[in-house]
Structure 1
Amino acid sequence: MGAVGIVFGDIGTSPLYTLRECLKAAGGVTQTNIYGIVSLILWSILLVVTLKYVSFVMRADNDGEGGILALTALASGVAPARLRHLLLTLGVFGAAMFYGDSMITPAISVISAVEGVTLIHPGLSHAIVPISLVILTGLFAIQKSGTGAVGKIFGPVMIVWFLVLAALGVLHIVEHPDILRAASPQYALAFIAHSPATAFIVLGSVFLALTGGEALYADMGHFGKSPIRFAWLFLVWPSLILNYFGQGALVLAHPKLVQQPFFNLAPGWALLPLVILAAAATVIASQAVISGAFSMTKQAVQLGFLPRTPVVHTSKKEIGQVYVPFVNLSLFVAVVFLVVFFKSSDNLASAYGIAVASTMLLTTLLMSFVTHSLWRWKPLTTAAVIGPMAIVDLAFVSSNVSKILDGGWFPLAAGALLFTVMTTWHRGRAALITQMKADNPPLRDLLASLREGSHAPSHVEGTAVFPGSVVGMTPTAFMHNLKHNRVLHRTNIFLAGATDNVPYTREAERLTVESLGEGCFAVTVRHGFMEIPNVPALLRLAQKDIPGWTYEVEDTSFFLARDTIIATGETHAMALWRDKLFAFLGRNAARAAEYYSLPPNRVVELGGQINI
């Protein structure tokens, strides 16, 4: 029920505008166009969504997690070392494009539903934008309740929606059963052969029927692959196909109804209820990409592609269900801009598709590394499966290029901006760690010098914990503490973390403890890209490996470095403008104390300055 309510909203509301945009791109209503386009839609959904995503890509889950970043972590973990940087770049670019799609989906979905009011009364056209903004504001306001709670509310609505799609389609298929001939691929091939140039342009609109495919994979961590597959095969897919065929039958019999073929499927008495149901369904359509963006952000933070940002876990049972306040606000601002700027689903359709088409192509390329290096497929088998998928994806990407000047520039610009931010943060962190290693001696060497030196620091009671260190490196906060306070606690714990290419790590493999002598211990923590380190919980886990020590909150002080990053260009790792961007991102990252779940009254922050 939750999966139906969250995952399929995007692709489930595509019938509102897809056939209309396809016929417009084809130049009008003719029998050849209708049969060819309906056939193209059928076979595109079969090949891309059912065969590629549901049957193939969803097998490549990373311990249950999906989405292009989870796939990137999986592929880069098995690919040759020389190709890992390339794979990471491809994955980050695909993630950035997914964010671009997450902005357009809510806008086009809700506007396309609200436009149905013009069939009730033409004078209501001026109210489309205000009504859409009110609906979208409500949607983003309820995100903090969590995807699980939202899914339980939305699930029954979406089940009704898909049953109505199927019923409306069957109603008109029965009246004009000749439309069933479009099930044969020969009509799609004949349409392409009749006018290849027109068919190429039409493919960009046919792709609108597929735009929720990537969300199926990205949302897999919220509900698991089995509920998604079951719902698709036995409810969503049949309902969509029946509705598209029903629209084809309607327009074939009544060409003048091409402006709103979906809403004209309903009898007059059912029009208002259908508009209301469509509005509810499009709100849910937006939920699929919003929840996908939340999961993507959490992965990006843990993999080191975005700065720390507060992540709220909204379910005690499903660890993948999260809410990210900053992303929610950012998406809301972008969606409001799109609604106000483009004003209609016709205009937004021109901007829609190119971002998610690019992500789909990159997913296919990453799958080639998974099949060959992880699943050990023979090169010929990999080529035989991946090759046709890549050709189909490339055809959709190419056909969507024509949309760039008509609005496709927006998701590309948004994706390019996010790609720049993500790669800058990733490279900046590497440069920062290099600089810190140069400024601070190795931890073992420093501790040895303290023991052997004539001016050893004084020892005080209690435990000092230094979270967020780099393995083997002296934490900056420890250096500041020695320099300013000139003391060493009875027990000193240096927590150094590393993110694995898996979403979750087992408790037995989560940490290792090494004694450094004189009451100092190096604790190396391994966590997955879907896990946020909880330092108090880690200390309770570590106490069994530290003889004679137990974690007591009132006896523990947490020392954090709150260094100011100054962009000087000294490291030459990046251009100066990127150094400044990295410094800006660092200043606005979430506070480490909150991110690591530290008790606020036991935290000591020591500041300094680092030049990069």
Structure 2
Amino acid sequence: MASEEAATSPSAADHAPEPHTPSKLTPALVLACLGVVYGDIGTSPLYALRESLVHAHEEGMPETSVIGIVSLLFWTVVLIVTIKYVILILRADNNGEGGTLSLVAKAQGALKVGPDARRRRLLLLLGILGVSLFFGDSMITPAISVLSAVEGLTLVQPDFQPWVVPGTVVIVVVLFWVQSGGTDRIARLFGPIMLLWFSTMAVLGISHIADDARILQALNPLRAATFLIEYGMAAMPVLGSVFLAVTGAEALYADMGHFGRSAIRTAWSVLVFPALALSYLGQGAMVLAHPETVANPFFLMAPEWFLVPLVILATAATVIASQAVISGAFSVAAQAVQMGLLPRLHVKYTSDLQVGQIYLPKVNAVLMVGVVALVLAFGSSARLASAYGIAVTGDMVITSVLAIIVFRWAWNWTWPLVAVVMVPVLGIELIFFSANLMKLLDGGYIPLIFAAWAVGMMVIWVEGMRRLQEKLATESIALDLLAGKLAKSPPVIVPGTAVFLTADPMVAPPALLHNLKHNRVLHERNLIVKVESATTPRVPENARLRLESVAPGFWRAWLSFGYMEQPNVPRALAEAKRQGLKFDIMSTSFFLNRRTLRSGKGNLMPHWMSRIFVRLYRSASEPTNYYRLPSNRVVELGQQKNI
């Protein structure tokens, strides 16, 4: 069951900390940034070069192939991560927040679209697709990262091979199990571990560049171009694996609100990018000098005495990478709910200091089942690499399209400037997307199936809520008309204030009508309140409340909250005192309409669609906690509706 008043808003959860956005660049902030933002992209050297060389299908690993592929890896990181994200996209923040949905909100603001505008729906559809692809990536990243690290143990002890999958499953289950306790304390270890990880990668890379100094030719972009020209269409599978080097780049933008633009850029420039470049160059030089190391170039860079510590460090790094993408999935899901793309989800805050440290039980359960299923189904990181890339490239293409809208209409760039800057980036991403599509039948369909399922659920939810609200509007009584009649012929008036939460403040809320019908009383002050989601992360307190007098004893109120905020209705309504309206929480009752939907007995939507919508509607968690309503002052009135 669900309440009409909160059908498109997330459920509150436990104690929610006040928003905190770092404002001062400090070494500690940069260190923390390493552990959360760069975990995913930082573990790409474990498998990116290995898989790219495997898809080259050449015996003996000739110089042109190795240098060409390393050059592709290096310049892909430069173009997509450094230029697109670090230099350009990080500037396209929405009041300090990043991520696909932040970009959608910023694009909506730039185009000045209204709530019912066609452009708004198209932008929301792009956001839905981007979020769905991100969720697909959130399943594959933990699976491939942990698998690739655990597989390193087989280099130390080949007999461990049968235990790779069971060991990975155990690590994954434990990883998701500890999510409910929060990662606040564990996160303090993430930064130092990733600092050690990147430093180790850099040292190992430097120690092997001298194996064959010809690898330095990879810094010349012409070597990458020459490889593509010589291989032609045969290079497409290689490009599908090369793209593994930039998976996790979306985290740079998504986590901007937690660490700030400066910390992310500093960490990338000073440590992450140099370490990645040195690792790929070192691996390439070693393969040139010793072609037999192509089987696992990353771990074989380590001296024998350091192999076990490196495997342990790699496992820790992959767990951190998985934690980062899981936390990102929680944040994206919470934003999607706040923007009306999903039903309310129970949110638990796991930190009193970091607003981004949240736990969503349902999302956690879905991700855990998906990750374990992928590990069991594919069994190795090499096979799972075939399923990787499509979701990430698709999400990046959507980000580029939204960025073009922001650059053109929010920043007022001219079309020639937009073309010069973004067409090459978008073109490269489309090439990578096409290359990854070639892996469709080898497992690439997995994230697409999940993304299609997520898109279907969100589209049905959005469309179902739109049709339901339209149907309710046609069956409702205009608030102005009802208030006018009650002013002329009032029922019994009782002292105090009644707050009716509603999705449409222009019509009389069903809870108000039921209260009049069954209790035959009316409070001396009646507030018809709509809670809205703004296109900004947070809303200033002085812009939170908008009041409008309807008739004696009746007011409409609009409460606006950012998509990164959890609404506190009583606190927001307390601002009404400044606007001359008496509001005392101790003499206020909050009325909610609890609506039960039944499918198959109405004509609101096709039967199959209505059944899914009803399930989604019933799965929405209770609105009372989310709105921070005092539970002893909430009155719920029931209603059944056939759709």
Per the shorter chain, which TM-score range? over 0.9
Q: Which moved more, 1:515-524 or 1:56-65?
A: 515-524
| Contact map agreement 1:513 1:522 (CA 8 A) in 2 | yes
Distance 1:532 1:569, change over 3 A: farther
Letter in 2 for 1:477: A
| Contact map agreement 1:147 1:291 (CA 8 A) in 2 | no
Letter in 2 for 1:105: T
State the match for 2:511 in structure 1: 477
Secondary structure, in 3 states, of the residue corresponding to 2:530?
strand
Secondary structure, in 3 states, of the residue corresponding to 1:56?
helix
Are 1:39 and 2:71 an aligned pair? yes
Instruction: Give the one of 424, 446, 449 matched to 1:388.
Output: 424
Instruction: Give the one of 356, 363, 371 matched to 2:407.
Output: 371
* Aligned equivalents of 1:446, 1:149: Cα separation in 2: 55
Instruction: Give the one of 14, 17, 30 matched to 2:47.
Output: 17
* 1:394-415 per-position Cα deviation (integer Å, ceiling 9, x unaligned): 0000000011111111100000
State the match for 1:531 in structure 2: 565
* Aligned equivalents of 2:583, 2:131: Cα separation in 1: 44
Name the Cα RMSD after superposition. Answer: 1.6
Give 1:594 deviation, angstroms.
Answer: 2.2
State the match for 2:107 in structure 1: 75
* Aligned equivalents of 1:231, 1:364: Cα separation in 2: 23
State the match for 2:203 in structure 1: 167
* 1:288-314 per-position Cα deviation (integer Å, ceiling 9, x unaligned): 211211111111111110001122333
User: How do 1:439-518 and structure 2 match up within 5 A?
Assistant: 439-453=475-489, 456-518=490-552
| Contact map agreement 2:576 2:582 (CA 8 A) in 1 | no
* Aligned equivalents of 1:441, 1:188: Cα separation in 2: 67
| Contact map agreement 1:467 1:535 (CA 8 A) in 2 | no
* 1:182-239 per-position Cα deviation (integer Å, ceiling 9, x unaligned): 1111211111111112212210000000111112211222222221111111111100
Instruction: Give the one of 12, 35, 60 matched to 2:92.
Output: 60
Letter in 1 for 2:129: F
State the match for 1:267 in structure 2: 303
* 1:508-541 per-position Cα deviation (integer Å, ceiling 9, x unaligned): 1111122334433222111111122112222323
State the match for 1:586 in structure 2: 617
| Contact map agreement 2:487 2:551 (CA 8 A) in 1 | no
* Aligned equivalents of 1:549, 1:283: Cα separation in 2: 50
Q: Which moved more, 1:513-522 or 1:94-103?
A: 513-522
Q: Which moved more, 1:391-400 or 1:490-499?
A: 490-499
State the match for 2:32 in structure 1: 2
Q: Which moved more, 1:226-235 or 1:306-315?
A: 306-315
| Contact map agreement 1:569 1:575 (CA 8 A) in 2 | no
Q: Which moved more, 1:578-587 or 1:258-267?
A: 578-587
Give 1:569 deviation, angstroms.
Answer: 7.5
State the match for 1:323 in structure 2: 359
* Aligned equivalents of 2:74, 2:324: Cα separation in 1: 22
Identical amino acids, percent of aligned pairs: 49
* Aligned equivalents of 2:120, 2:595: Cα separation in 1: 31
* Aligned equivalents of 2:263, 2:349: Cα separation in 1: 21
| Contact map agreement 1:539 1:551 (CA 8 A) in 2 | no
Distance 1:148 1:230, change over 3 A: farther
* 1:526-568 per-position Cα deviation (integer Å, ceiling 9, x unaligned): 111112211222232333334444222xx33221111012234
State the match for 1:556 in structure 2: 588
Secondary structure, in 3 states, of the residue corresponding to 1:358?
helix
Give 1:589 deviation, angstroms.
Answer: 0.2
Letter in 2 for 1:125: Q
Instruction: Give the one of 408, 420, 429 matched to 2:456.
Output: 420
| Contact map agreement 2:573 2:583 (CA 8 A) in 1 | no
| Contact map agreement 2:533 2:561 (CA 8 A) in 1 | yes
State the match for 2:606 in structure 1: 575
* Aligned equivalents of 2:237, 2:549: Cα separation in 1: 66
* 1:214-271 per-position Cα deviation (integer Å, ceiling 9, x unaligned): 1221122222222111111111110011001111111111111111111101000000
Distance 1:503 1:571, change over 3 A: farther
User: How do 1:78-477 and structure 2 match up within 5 A?
Assistant: 78-79=110-111, 81-146=117-182, 148-453=184-489, 456-477=490-511
Letter in 1 for 2:630: P
Secondary structure, in 3 states, of the residue corresponding to 1:175?
coil
| Contact map agreement 2:545 2:573 (CA 8 A) in 1 | no
* Aligned equivalents of 1:202, 1:534: Cα separation in 2: 52
Secondary structure, in 3 states, of the residue corresponding to 1:195?
helix
| Contact map agreement 1:559 1:603 (CA 8 A) in 2 | yes
Give 1:181 deviation, angstroms.
Answer: 1.4
State the match for 2:21 in structure 1: none
Q: Which moved more, 1:294-303 or 1:147-156?
A: 147-156
* Aligned equivalents of 1:436, 1:149: Cα separation in 2: 47
Q: Which moved more, 1:103-112 or 1:143-152?
A: 143-152
* Aligned equivalents of 2:223, 2:341: Cα separation in 1: 46
* Aligned equivalents of 2:335, 2:508: Cα separation in 1: 27
* Aligned equivalents of 2:388, 2:236: Cα separation in 1: 16
| Contact map agreement 2:94 2:106 (CA 8 A) in 1 | yes
State the match for 2:22 in structure 1: none
Are 1:27 and 2:61 an aligned pair? no
Secondary structure, in 3 states, of the residue corresponding to 1:55?
helix
Distance 1:548 1:370, change over 3 A: closer
Secondary structure, in 3 states, of the residue corresponding to 1:460?
strand
Give 1:146 deviation, angstroms.
Answer: 4.1
| Contact map agreement 1:543 1:551 (CA 8 A) in 2 | no
Secondary structure, in 3 states, of the residue corresponding to 1:524?
strand
Letter in 1 for 2:616: L
Secondary structure, in 3 states, of the residue corresponding to 2:96?
coil
Letter in 1 for 2:244: L
How many residue pairs match? The answer is 607
* Aligned equivalents of 1:153, 1:10: Cα separation in 2: 16
Letter in 2 for 1:240: L
* Aligned equivalents of 1:193, 1:69: Cα separation in 2: 38
State the match for 2:13 in structure 1: none
State the match for 1:595 in structure 2: 626
Give 1:145 deviation, angstroms.
Answer: 4.5
* Aligned equivalents of 1:430, 1:229: Cα separation in 2: 41
Give 1:344 deviation, angstroms.
Answer: 0.7
* Aligned equivalents of 2:467, 2:582: Cα separation in 1: 39
Letter in 2 for 1:591: E
Give 1:140 deviation, angstroms.
Answer: 1.8
Q: Which moved more, 1:142-151 or 1:491-500?
A: 142-151
* Aligned equivalents of 1:241, 1:145: Cα separation in 2: 36
State the match for 2:17 in structure 1: none
Unpaired runs of 5+ in structure 2?
Answer: 1-30
Secondary structure, in 3 states, of the residue corresponding to 1:559?
strand
* Aligned equivalents of 1:155, 1:44: Cα separation in 2: 25
Give 1:111 deviation, angstroms.
Answer: 0.5
* 1:372-410 per-position Cα deviation (integer Å, ceiling 9, x unaligned): 111000111111111111100100000000111111111
* 1:317-351 per-position Cα deviation (integer Å, ceiling 9, x unaligned): 44333322221221111111111111110111000
Distance 1:452 1:571, change over 3 A: farther
* Aligned equivalents of 1:406, 1:104: Cα separation in 2: 14
